Chains A and B, each alone.
Chain A
Amino acid sequence: MYQILKQIVKTGIVTEPAPLPDAALRALEQRLGEVILKHFGRALAIRHVDAGSCNGCELEIHAMNSPYCNLEGLGIKFVASPRHADMLLVTGPVSRNMETALKRTWEATPDPKLVVAIGDCGCTGGIFGESYASCGRVSNVIPVDVAVPGCPPTPVAILRGILTAITPGR
């Protein structure tokens, strides 16, 4: 126990300031009113869905959970079920084998809900494109509010996308 406490004290607080929202990432106009967003802003529950990614974007979503970002300090947490979620964070080109599962996850998420597509593949289909096995970008399957490019996008870029989705106005 002493070693653990010593290490915690030695490490200190490494959290860095959160990025500012960027309206340029918006794919759809903000549909939610300021009152709702004010609540989301302090308690946002996210469900991640890998709809067919190469797992590169997953690495950066994990990295966003590192103490450098301190998500919980921003009122953001990842939840285990879409039924508990306000936002879906979707990676990958949507594989045809995940198309139904993604639609069902979206339907299981209570309204009002937000969708943030992550990575070049989520934004455009990326290098995998559209094929017999791939539906391409996420917005080909479910409505997307904010799309974050990058291969993979950095944790700061993903966080910026999330914060953009819960920011009022265009």
Chain B
Amino acid sequence: MPLNELPIEVEPLVGAMPAFCASIPAGELRGLAEQARARKAPLVALWGSDETERRAGYALHLALAFPSGLLWVSVPLSREDPHYPGIADIYASANRMQRATADLLGIFPSADADRRKWLRHGAWPEGAFPLRKSVDPAARFAQGPDLYPFVPVEGEGVHEIPVGPVHAGTIEPGHFRFSIVGEKILRLEERLGYTHKGIEKRFEQMTLEEGAKLAGRVSGDSTVAYAWAYAMAVEGATGTEPPPRALALRGILLELERIANHLGDLGYLGNDVALSFGFFQFWRVKEDLLRTHAQLFGHRYLMDAIVPGGVACDLSRAQADALLGRLDTILQEVATLRSIYDEHAGAQDRFIMTGQVTRELAERMGLTGLAARACGMARDLRVDYPIPPWQELDPRMITHPRGDVSARVALRFEEIFESVRLIRSLAQELPPGKLRVPVAAATAGARGLGWVEGWRGDVLIALETAGANRIHRLHPHDPSWQNWPLLEHAVHGNIVPDFPLINKSFNLSYSGADL
């Protein structure tokens, strides 16, 4: 069948989200990317795979979001010469994904592309590609030197501030190279990959059942979004249909995760403008919610609550009432705290017009999720592809035109209110029935996609099965891939002391994108 938006033959893919697969030769890749770009289809992910055990070569994969669904494009590449024409000039966000694919699999974009390493530091040498099937999972490489060509900035009065990988606060490791003039940031260059711990290789040693736990630990703060995306991918690949009660509970869990993260971020955003009152208040409210999670679902962060085939928890009528009672209290507290934030001149002075990203830049760079909605881009999977349980709830998409820290603060407040509304609707009318159905057996080479609007943005899991219910290839994709490069732009012209504030207003995942 042809895709609605492009003259290309596609195969529909079984699963909860509308999705299609297509295979094209490398020579057509740039043409397709240009047409997709012209239709404003966001690039959701780019990754590679090793098909040499299947008597083929390698493959490059892209996920592109069209209104009719997600298009999974595969580009077969030869075993001898796995090169393809790069697309980072068409989709800016492809740059780091292309480099990561080169580091892990030795699949290279054409010579004119940015060929600097990305995930490879000193843990494996140039010319070794750990995600290739020929590399034993037990293999170790000698720790080598790690030379990285940062872009030098020269000129009168310019100097550098190198920060990290170990930061001053309790955050994940990464390196930020600031070039500054006086107090102002002239340029920021990020170097990430420090938390690369071989997640994708690990998946390939696992069964579909075992993988659920790992998926929930790609980025701990988004464990629900990942677990759901993983379950959705497995259910698609095996033709399993989760029961309606499980879907409603998944919706509740996802919105609780959104609320918990937003509460924590709002606390830290207060802290970063010297309003420590805000930190202590929000983290008290967040702690109350986490304790409610533990009581009702057995885990403070809701880890392992979503499993392929359904959910591993339930919510009785009485428990639902307890949850809604807690959320009512939280809503009142958040409303009070919002009025305090809004009327606090010092905080607003730091928030407004700090770390601004224009909509034009955001669209060009492929910004996604919460940060994209905060500069006016209307993109939210729950609204754009209203599959169950969102179908009947009519989620309200919240956007803000300004794209600065204050917009990202305002969006978090508004999303908390909307998430509570969604949870209330879901919890009041939980469908009766089963919580979990057995997952059907997978045939080798079956594909599944999971795509979920997590609190940070859209999380994608692209799965291809091997024999005996095992994983041939699994790519977990965090929205942070797209959003990290925007942070480099958002800080331009801002003062160095505002960097922590701007960084926190995005609150991107290191682990999720380092894999």
Contacts and interface: CB of A to CB of B under 8 A. Distances in A.
A97 B193 contact: yes
A127 interface: yes
A53 B300 contact: no
Contact of A14 (B140, B141, B284, B337): B284
Contacts of B264: 59, 62
Interface in B315-355: 336-337, 339-340, 343
B194 interface: yes
B270 to A, nearest CB: 11
Nearest to B294: A154
B202 A128 contact: yes
Interface string A99-134: 111000100000000000000000000111101111
Contact of A100 (B143, B201, B301): B143
B280 interface: yes
A65 B336 CA distance: 22
Given A4-B340, A62-B283, A95-B194, A133 B130 contact: yes
Interface stretch (A19-27, A74-82, A162-170): A74-82
A66 B220 contact: no
A95 B196 contact: yes
B57 to A, nearest CB: 22
B214 interface: yes
Nearest to B169: A80
Given A55-B220, A97-B123, A127-B213, A134 B198 contact: yes
Given A4-B277, A127-B213, A68 B287 contact: yes
A61 B221 contact: no
A55 B223 CA distance: 10
Interface string A61-90: 111011110000000001011100000000
Contact of B336 (A3, A52, A60): A3
Contacts of B290: 63
A46 B198 CA distance: 29
Contacts of B220: 53-59, 152
B310 to A, nearest CB: 22
Interface string B258-284: 000000100010000000010011011
Contacts of B214: 127
B173 interface: yes
Given A3-B343, A132-B139, A101 B287 contact: no
A63 B194 contact: no
Contact of B198 (A14, A128, A152): A128
Given A54-B218, A62-B170, A97 B301 contact: no
A50 interface: yes
A161 interface: no
Contacts of A149: none
B202 A66 contact: no
A134 B140 CA distance: 9
Interface string B186-214: 00000001111111011000000000011
B123 A96 contact: yes
Nearest to A48: B170
A104 to B, nearest CB: 8
B140 A95 contact: no
Contact of A53 (B122, B195, B336): B195
Contact of A133 (B123, B170, B171, B303): B123
Given A53-B220, A56-B301, A101-B173, A92 B143 contact: no
B387 interface: no
A98 interface: yes
Contacts of B213: 127
A86 to B, nearest CB: 16
B339 to A, nearest CB: 7
Contacts of A56: 217, 220-221, 223, 301, 303
Contact of B511 (A11, A55, A105, A132): A55
B514 to A, nearest CB: 8
Contacts of A35: none
A49 interface: yes
Contacts of A82: 166
24 contacts: A3-B340, A7-B277, A7-B336, A49-B173, A52-B173, A52-B195, A52-B196, A52-B511, A54-B219, A56-B303, A63-B286, A65-B283, A66-B284, A66-B286, A68-B287, A80-B168, A82-B166, A95-B197, A98-B194, A127-B217, A131-B197, A133-B196, A151-B217, A154-B300
- 9 smallest beta-carbon distances between A and B, as pairs: A56-B220, A96-B123, A133-B198, A80-B168, A66-B283, A54-B220, A131-B198, A97-B121, A54-B217
Given A62-B268, A128-B199, 15 more contacts: A4-B340, A52-B197, A53-B220, A56-B220, A80-B169, A97-B195, A98-B194, A99-B143, A105-B166, A129-B202, A131-B137, A131-B138, A133-B123, A133-B196, A133-B201
Interface of A: 3-4, 7-8, 11, 14, 48-63, 65-68, 78, 80-82, 92-93, 95-101, 105, 126-129, 131-134, 151-152, 154
Interface of B: 121-124, 130, 135, 137-141, 143, 146, 165-166, 168-173, 193-199, 201-202, 213-214, 217-221, 223, 264, 268, 277, 280-281, 283-284, 286-287, 290, 300-301, 303, 336-337, 339-340, 343, 509-511, 514
